[in-house]
Amino acid sequence: MRNLANSLSPFATASGMPLQETHYSIPADIGASGEVLMLSESEKTGSLRTSRPPFAGRKDVAGRFAVLLATIACMPTAAPADEASYVTADVTLATDYVVRGASQTLSEAAIHGCVEAGHKSGLFGYLWGSNVDFVADGDPDDGARAEINAALGYEHALTDRLTASMQRIHYLFPDLEPGLDYDYAEWVGTVTLDERHSLAFGYTGDFSGTGGSAMYVDAATGFDLPAGLSLTVKAGWLDLERAFGEAYVYGTLAVSGSADAFSWEVSYHIADGSARDIFYEWVVAPRLVLSLNFSIG
* CATH number reported for the structural domain that contains residue 276 in this entry: 2.40.160.40
Backbone angles phi, psi at 29, to 5 degrees: -125, 160
Q: Give the Cα separation of 234 and 11 in Å (integer).
A: 8
Q: Give the Cα separation of 64 and 103 in Å (integer).
A: 13
Quick: pLDDT tens for 181-210.
999 999 999 999 999 999 999 999 998 888
Task: Provide the residue type at 280 as one letter.
Answer: Y
Quick: pLDDT tens for 66-81.
444 443 446 555 444 4
Give the rounded distance of the alpha carbon of 219 from its chain centre: 15
Q: Where are the beta strands (DSSP E) in the chain?
A: 4-6, 28-30, 36-38, 72-74, 85-94, 98-99, 102-103, 110-119, 123-131, 146-157, 162-172, 184-193, 197-204, 214-224, 230-240, 246-259, 262-271, 287-296
Would residue 183 be called left, alpha or beta, if left means φ above 0 and alpha means ψ between -120 and 50 degrees?
beta
Q: What pLDDT does residue 153 have?
A: 98
Q: What domain range is 260 assigned to?
A: 4-296
Q: What pLDDT does residue 297 have?
A: 77
Residues with Cβ within 8 Å of 227's Cβ and at least 6 positions away in sequence, in order, are: 257
Q: What pLDDT does residue 74 have?
A: 60
Contact criterion met (CB below 8 Å) for 196 and 215: no
DSSP H helices, the chain, are 41-45, 58-65, 241-244
Total structural domains in the chain?
1
Contact criterion met (CB below 8 Å) for 255 and 230: yes
pTM: 0.76
- Ranges under pLDDT 70 in the chain: 1-83
Give the residue from 248, 252, 189 showing the smallest Cα distance to 221: 252
- Cα 195 to Cα 55, 151, 169, 220, 221, distances in angstroms: 41, 21, 22, 11, 9
Task: Provide the residue type at 177 as one letter.
Answer: E
Taking the CB of residue 111, how many other CB atoms lie within 10 A of it?
Answer: 13
